[in-house]
Each structure stands twice: as C-alpha cells, then as structure tokens.
C-alpha cells in the first residue's frame, strides 16, 4: 500500500482537519516520522524492542479442529501473544520512541477496550514518560480490569463524560488535552485514524504484522498466499497491518465491522477527528453514537485508508451482530483453546457465517488480541 | 442494530467538490463584517464580539438582540456539533443541551434570517456540518440567512481551500484562527486568507474561562498586529471585562464565549446576558 499524498490523502480520504493550534504539531510529527523512519538507528532500536520486549515475531497458528468444524482452513496470526495482549504494542513502541526522539516527556492516548491504553501506559513506564489515558466512562465500567492495569503501570486514567461516553468521546478528550499541552506532549493515537500523518504512520508501525504473516504463510502454503485475509475493523489498525502484507497479492481482503459501528458499510463521507472518511452521521452531519458489545470497535468512524480500499474495491467490508460475536468467542475457545478478544471474534464470526462461501479455502485471520479483558463481561452475558 | 445487509444510500453523499485543495486568494474587497469592524475601530472603539450557542433555550434569538443592543459589534452564533473538539466544558454542555432540544443547522439559520440584530453575524461551527450539507449549499444558506461570516475551527489553512472557494462565491467571509503555536512564516499566510477578522487564539487550549489572562494572548495579538491591517480579535480564555481590557492593550478587540454562555446555562436569560456584555462594553470604552 502506497504513501498518502503530501496532503495526507488516500484517494479522496484522509487529510488534516485539526484546529490551527495543532497544525504545526501535525507538520512537525510528519517530518520527525519521515526522518526517524529513514534512520537505521531508530529502526534498529524499534526492531530490538519489538523482539526483546514485545516478543515478536508473533506465531502463525493453524486451527485444525476449528477448520474441521467450519470446513474452512483457518490460520491465525497470533497478535494476542504480544506483550500487553494485543497488536497495539507495535504502534505504541514506535510512537513512544519517536516521542522521546522529539523531546516530548508526556504521552496522551485515547482508549476503547483499554488495549491501546494499556500498551501506551506500558511504553511510558518503559521509557520513563508521563502518561494520561482518556477512556469513556461506559468503557471504564465494562473494562475495569484494563483500567486497573493502566493505573498499575503508572498512568492516569481520566473518564470521558460527554456524548456516548465511549471511544469517540475519549478521542475528543485526548485531542482537547493535546491542544493545551502540545509543546510537551505527544498524542499517541491508537489507530490508523485521525489527522495525517497518523493513518499512514500507524500503518507503517503495524506493517510488521503483514510482513511476518506473508512469510509465515509462504512457508506453510508452499509459497502461496491465503485465499482470504480477514480482520476486525473499528478504527482499523490491525486490519491495515495485516492487509499491508497482502494488498499486492491475489488474496481477498475482508474487514469485519460491528453491525452497530459500521462506518464503511453504512456510513457516508464525513469529517471528524481530523479525517475525511466514511462516518455514521445523521442528515445534519451530527455524528451518531456507535453501539457494540466490543468497546474496541464501538466507534462511528473508520481510518481513511479503509474508506479508500472500500471505494476502489480492493477490500470488502462485512458486518456481524453482537450475538454472532458471542458465538464466535465461544467457538474459538472451545475448539482451539484460544480465548479471543471480542474484537477479533468479529472476524471469526464472519468466517463462521460465511463458511459456505469459504468452503475449502484458506483464510488468514488476524487474532488481534486475547480475551482475558473480556472474560468478566462474557461471564455476565453467558450466565 | 441487527441487520447485516450492506445497503447504504451513497446517493446522499455530499459530492466531491472538496477535493481540490488549492487555496484561492481572499477577495480584495472587505465584506460586511470586516467593513463594520474596520469602521468601528477607525472610530476609536475596541471591538466586542460575543458568542452565543444557537438553539440554547427558546429565547436565544432574544439573547442575540439583547447583546447587540448592549454594545456588541458583531455576534458569533454557534451551530452546535456533536463532537466539538476545540471547545471546553461550558460550550460542550451548551451544544449538548441545544442538540437535545432539537437544534439543527438549518433551524438556526432560519431563525437568524429573522433576528434583525442590527450588527453583523457570524456562524461558528465544525466543518462536518458544512460538509454534510454540501459546501456550496451551506455557504449559500449562510448568506441567504443574512449571516456575514463563518468560522470553522477544525479547518486549518491547509484544508480551507474548498470551503473558501464556495464561501467567497456566496459572499460569506471566512474568519481564520491564528494560534500561538504558529511559526512566524505561517501567520502572514493565515492573515492573508482571513476575512472578517483574524481570530487570535489566546492560549494553548480549548475554549473556556480562565482565572487570569494568559500572557500568550498579548504575544499572539502583538505578533498579528505587526503583520496585518485586518482587525485582530483575541478569543479563547478571555473571561471578564478586566481581561478584555487587558488584552485590548495589544488587540483590536475580543471574542467572549464561555463567560457569556455559562451565564445563559445558569438561566440568566437575555437580561443577564445584556448586563454582562454591557459591563464589558463599558470597561472597553473606558479603557
């Protein structure tokens, strides 16, 4: 997948719709990222951290029992086995090293399910930086374990009390913080969204998922690529990461959105959180509140490159219901001994529903996180 | 939501007239707002532009008229947006309350067409409100409501071209914000494209009252006054008559939002709003 234009556009999507106060920071961040990304010392430092601290490369697991049950050959890219339990650490280590290089002493982040918040708090602890995480009040309730983890790691967790009190509102609060603290603070944005350069920069940090998976699949499949590559999409970072390894192949790319937060599937172009992208909104342009069982996907927008991939037809997007996700969560636990996070359970829910269409084919699914954080919520739902 | 079809009405999309990012030069002729502000400034007056959230309470058009009578030189009307990232708690609460009461962009513009305040009006909203309506249609709606100008705080210079093209064509002045973080080379470009006035952001942060005037307010006003002849008004963090006087040592005037809107949220109504704006007017006139 290519670089965006100098104006941060992927086709008609992207851009930098931020308050004037933040514009110099966006321009500065882009310059700093370009410079760091071209610097072998930075790349080596990041590579070493990903290997020695985060535990990369993450394995590729072939699911024999699940495959037999579905009639579809399913391979999992095991981002759930990374340190902190999800793919989020790839991006956060990259941004934290960059922030340190830029002389910033403080990280702010938004978080939905808490996985990005935990990853950011972790990187801040590792590098001795101050960390503040904004989290919707509703999400703090349903992801209490991650709130505790972030605090244990030394971060301050601040509830977002406006609007739907979920991820969208946490992004608003993080941006408001950044407007006030931009001189000392780096906004460690957690997905391939927001103003340029974030959608591109975060993709580059997650590209490692796709690069590793491409090699691992080639080894397993005699040099071949899987027929289908699938991942869940909220903002869309784990999906972009794995898609980036296969965009130039014959593999079909399928993003799976929650039915209640389906920006690509049901949205129309709009502008919020710094980007022009598909957005769930009403006829006046007010942003709608998403509703999903998964705090990590409970978001009415989507990263602009997904909007672009959808509009040019390179990727296709499907939706699944909360009920289908609950089934998939149990299915993987029961057949493979892997408890997935609710977010990647969306991708599995689609594979399960589409099993007839997928019969006999090979599907690579990005298992973006582990389900420990969701166990308490599922205990309530299933009892 | 439970259905899983992919049906979407993409015919509702606002079009792609926003894709040409070329920034056209601002028209040479000043518009209604800039003309009024220049003329007041030439008469030795410090400029006072209060902000009111449109749709906040049934009597909000009365508030607009009352503060015009109390000495506002122009008035900003906020069109509430669901996700106001440049706004602090007071404007957020006002926006939420107005939206809950059913405020819509078109309803507010319709009211403004009837308000007859006797001073120029500017709408302040976020870009998606204009984008969703369609840039040309929104600009024309603003103009046909008798509103002189628009302020879109999430539309920086790099993205302003498509909107500015449509606003210029409709005769709507686009006020641009100038922030303390802008390097020296950037400010002249912002000033050159700004119409109506240059909105100097007084501090690093979102809208809201502060106990003391930030020193950055004076610095940004001074930097802007050194490079532009357009009216320079400081907003964000100007909370009281005393702070307005203080910043007008450097600036041509002030925008006062949260301090007024808080009074409206507290139920002070048109009379309370007029009393507050009147007190700021007196202080500015006495300075």
Structure tokens at A285: 């342009």
User: Length of chain B in residues, anyone?
Assistant: 287
Residue A4 lies in a domain: no
Residue B225 lies in a domain: yes
B250 belongs to the catalytic site: no
Residues A26 and A135 occupy one common structural domain:
yes
Q: Is A276 on the interface with B (CB under 8 A)?
A: yes
Residue A303 lies in a domain: yes
DSSP alpha helices (H): ranges in chain A? 23-37, 40-52, 64-70, 88-101, 115-127, 137-142, 144-152, 167-181, 198-220, 237-243, 263-266, 304-311, 322-336, 342-353, 355-358, 375-382
> Which candidate, B1, B34, B41, places its Cα nearest to that of A258?
B1
Structure tokens at A160: 């977002």
For chains A and B, count residue pairs whose Cβ atoms are closer than 8 Å: 150
Nearest residue in A to B237, CA atom = A180
Q: Which ipTM did the prediction report?
A: 0.95
Q: Are A95 and A205 in contact (CB under 8 A)?
A: yes
Q: Is B144 on the interface with A (CB under 8 A)?
A: no
Q: Do B105 and A23 touch (CB under 8 A)?
A: no
For an interface test with B, which of A19, A196, A354 has the most B Cβ atoms less than 10 Å from its Cβ?
A: A19
CA–CA dist B75, B62 (Å, integer): 13
Residue A312 lies in a domain: yes
Q: Which domain holds residue A283?
A: 55-86+207-382
Q: Are B59 and B270 in contact (CB under 8 A)?
A: yes
Q: Is A321 on the interface with B (CB under 8 A)?
A: yes
Residues A279 and A323 occupy one common structural domain:
yes
Which stretches of chain B score pLDDT less than 50? 1-13
Give me the residue from A17, A179, A281 closest to B155, CB to CB: A17
Residues A144 and A189 occupy one common structural domain:
yes
Tell me which of A138, A169, A198 is where a domain ends. A198
State the pLDDT at residue A142.
86
The helix (run of H) or strand (run of E) holding residue A277 is strand A274-279
Residues A79 and A94 occupy one common structural domain:
no
Residues A290 and A313 occupy one common structural domain:
yes
Residues of chain B neighbouring A274 (CB-CB closer than 8 A): 154
For the four alpha carbons of A43, A48, A50 and A51, in that order, the dihedral sign comes to positive
Residue B6 lies in a domain: no
CATH of the domain at A116: 3.40.50.1100
Q: Do B4 and A321 touch (CB under 8 A)?
A: yes
Residues A30 and A172 occupy one common structural domain:
yes
The helix (run of H) or strand (run of E) holding residue B200 is strand B198-201
State the pLDDT at residue B6.
38
As a dihedral over the C-alpha atoms of residue B147, residue B152, residue B158, residue B159, rounded to 10 degrees, the angle is -80
Q: Are A253 and A315 in contact (CB under 8 A)?
A: yes
Q: Are B154 and B71 in contact (CB under 8 A)?
A: no
> Which candidate, A165, A162, A170, A62, places its Cα nearest to that of A115?
A170
Q: Which of residues 246-285 of B touch A (CB under 8 A)?
A: none
Q: Would you say the pTM of this structure is higher than 0.90? A: yes
State the pLDDT at residue B16.
61
| Those residues with Cβ within 8 angstroms of residue B245's Cβ, 6 or more apart along the chain or in another chain | B283, B284, B287
Q: Give me the number of domains chain B comprises.
A: 1
Query: For the stretch B41-75, what's the b/e string if a residue is b when 16 or more beta carbons lie within 10 angstroms of its beta carbon?
Result: beeebbbbbbbbbbbbbeebbbbbbbbbebbbbbb
Residues A153 and A216 occupy one common structural domain:
no
Give me the residue from B2, B19, B156 closest to A18, CB to CB: B156
State the pLDDT at residue A177.
95
Residue B38 lies in a domain: no
| Those residues with Cβ within 8 angstroms of residue B284's Cβ, 6 or more apart along the chain or in another chain | B45, B46, B48, B241, B244, B245, B248, B253, B254
CATH of the domain at B197: 3.20.20.70
Residues A354 and A211 occupy one common structural domain:
yes
Residues A251 and A168 occupy one common structural domain:
no
State the pLDDT at residue B8.
42
Give me the residue from A12, A22, A168 closest to B19, CB to CB: A12
CA distances in angstroms from A227 to A22, A214, A215, A240, A318, listed in the order given: 42, 12, 15, 17, 17
CA distances in angstroms from B226 to B72, B134, B214, B222, B233, listed in the order given: 25, 37, 19, 6, 14
CA distances in angstroms from B237 to A249, B125, B152, B212, B240, listed in the order given: 54, 18, 18, 8, 9
Q: Are A186 and A98 in contact (CB under 8 A)?
A: yes
Catalytic residue among B73, B87, B140, B168: B87
Catalytic residue IDs of A: 63, 87
| Those residues with Cβ within 8 angstroms of residue A122's Cβ, 6 or more apart along the chain or in another chain | A83, A84, A89, A92, A153
Nearest residue in B to A271, CA atom = B128
Residue A64 lies in a domain: yes
Residues A220 and A159 occupy one common structural domain:
no
CA B4 to chain centre: 41
Residue A252 lies in a domain: yes
State the pLDDT at residue B15.
55
CA–CA dist A178, A25 (Å, integer): 10
Q: Do B177 and A19 touch (CB under 8 A)?
A: yes
Residues A176 and A310 occupy one common structural domain:
no
Q: Is A367 on the interface with B (CB under 8 A)?
A: no
Tell me which of A198, A218, A240 is where a domain ends. A198
A144 phi, psi to nearest 5 deg: -60, -35
Q: Give me the number of domains chain A comprises.
A: 2
CA–CA dist A285, A342 (Å, integer): 30
- pLDDT digit string, tens, across residues A156-215: 999 999 888 999 999 999 999 999 999 999 999 999 999 999 999 999 999 999 999 999
User: Length of chain A in residues, anyone?
Assistant: 383
Tell me which of A198, A231, A262 is where a domain ends. A198
Residue A168 lies in a domain: yes
Q: Which domain holds residue B130?
A: 47-286
> Which candidate, B54, B96, B85, places its Cα nearest to that of B207?
B85
- Collapse the DSSP code of B271 into the 3-class scheme (helix H, G, I; strand E, B; otherwise coil) and give the result: helix
Residues A131 and A165 occupy one common structural domain:
yes
Q: Do B83 and A285 touch (CB under 8 A)?
A: no
Which stretches of chain A score pLDDT less than 50? none
Q: Is A266 on the interface with B (CB under 8 A)?
A: yes
CA distance A30 to chain B (A): 14
State the pLDDT at residue B197.
98
Residues of chain B neighbouring A350 (CB-CB closer than 8 A): none
């Amino acid at each position: 997948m290519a670089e965006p234009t100098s104006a941060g556009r992927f086709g008609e999507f992207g851009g930098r719709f931020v308050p004037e106060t933040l514009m110099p920071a966006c321009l500065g961040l882009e310059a700093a990222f370009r410079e760091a990304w071209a610097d072998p010392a930075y790349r080596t430092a990041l590579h070493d951290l990903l290997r020695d601290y985060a535990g990369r490369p993450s394995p590729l697991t072939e699911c024999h029992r699940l495959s037999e049950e579905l009639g579809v050959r399913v391979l999992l890219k095991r981002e759930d086995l990374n340190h902190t339990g999800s793919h989020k650490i790839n991006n956060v280590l990259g941004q934290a090293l960059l922030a340190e290089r830029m002389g910033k002493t403080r990280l702010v982040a938004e978080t939905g399910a808490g996985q990005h918040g935990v990853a950011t708090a972790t990187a801040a602890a590792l590098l001795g930086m101050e960390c503040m995480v904004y989290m919707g009040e509703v999400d703090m309730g349903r992801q209490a374990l991650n709130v505790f983890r972030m605090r244990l790691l030394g971060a301050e967790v601040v509830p977002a009390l406006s609007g739907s009190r979920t991820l969208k509102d946490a992004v608003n609060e993080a941006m408001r913080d950044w407007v006030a603290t931009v001189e000392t603070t780096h906004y460690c944005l957690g997905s391939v969204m927001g103003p340029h350069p974030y959608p591109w920069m975060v993709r580059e940090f997650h590209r490692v998922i796709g690069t590793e998976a491409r090699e691992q699949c080639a080894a397993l499949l005699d040099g071949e690529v899987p027929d289908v590559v699938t991942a869940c999409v909220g903002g869309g970072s784990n999906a972009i990461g794995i898609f980036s390894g296969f965009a130039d192949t014959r593999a079909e790319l399928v993003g799976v959105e929650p039915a209640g937060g389906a920006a690509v599937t049901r949205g129309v172009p709009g502008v919020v959180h710094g980007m022009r992208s598909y957005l769930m909104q009403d006829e006046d342009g007010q942003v709608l509140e998403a509703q999903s069982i998964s705090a990590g996907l409970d978001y009415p927008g989507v990263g602009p490159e997904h909007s672009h991939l959808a509009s040019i037809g390179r990727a296709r997007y499907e939706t699944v219901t909360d009920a289908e996700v609950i089934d998939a969560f149990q299915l993987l636990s029961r057949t493979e001994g892997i408890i997935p996070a609710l977010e990647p359970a969306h991708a599995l829910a689609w594979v399960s529903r589409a099993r007839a269409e997928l019969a006999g084919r090979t599907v690579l699914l990005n298992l973006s996180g582990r389900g420990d954080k969701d166990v308490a919520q599922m205990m309530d739902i299933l009892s | 939501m439970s259905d899983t079809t992919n049906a979407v009405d993409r015919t509702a999309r606002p079009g792609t007239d926003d894709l040409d990012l070329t920034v056209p030069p601002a028209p040479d002729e000043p518009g209604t707002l800039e003309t009024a502000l220049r003329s007041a400034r030439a008469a030795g007056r410090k400029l006072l532009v209060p902000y009111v959230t449109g749709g906040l309470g049934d009597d909000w058009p009365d508030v607009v008229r009352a503060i015009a009578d109390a000495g506002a030189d122009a008035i900003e009307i906020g069109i509430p947006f669901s996700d106001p990232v440049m706004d602090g708690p007071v404007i957020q609460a006002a926006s939420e309350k107005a939206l809950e009461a059913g405020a819509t962009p078109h309803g507010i513009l319709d009211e403004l067409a009837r308000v007859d305040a006797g001073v120029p009006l500017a709408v302040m909203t976020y870009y998606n409100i204009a984008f969703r309506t369609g840039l040309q249609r929104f600009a024309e709606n603003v103009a046909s409501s008798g509103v002189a100008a628009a302020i879109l705080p999430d539309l920086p210079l790099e993205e302003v071209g498509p909107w500015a093209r449509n606003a210029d064509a409709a005769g709507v002045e686009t006020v641009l914000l100038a922030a303390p973080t802008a390097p020296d080379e950037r400010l002249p470009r912002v000033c050159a494209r700004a119409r109506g006035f240059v909105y100097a952001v007084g501090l690093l942060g979102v809208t809201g009252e502060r106990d003391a005037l930030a020193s950055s307010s004076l610095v940004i006003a001074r930097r802007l006054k050194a490079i532009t002849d357009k009216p320079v008004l400081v907003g964000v963090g100007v909370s009281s008559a005393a702070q307005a006087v203080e910043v007008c040592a450097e600036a041509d005037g002030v925008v006062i939002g949260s301090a007024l809107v808080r009074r409206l949220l507290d139920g002070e109504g048109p009379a309370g709003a007029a009393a507050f704006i009147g007190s700021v007017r007196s202080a500015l006139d006495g300075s």
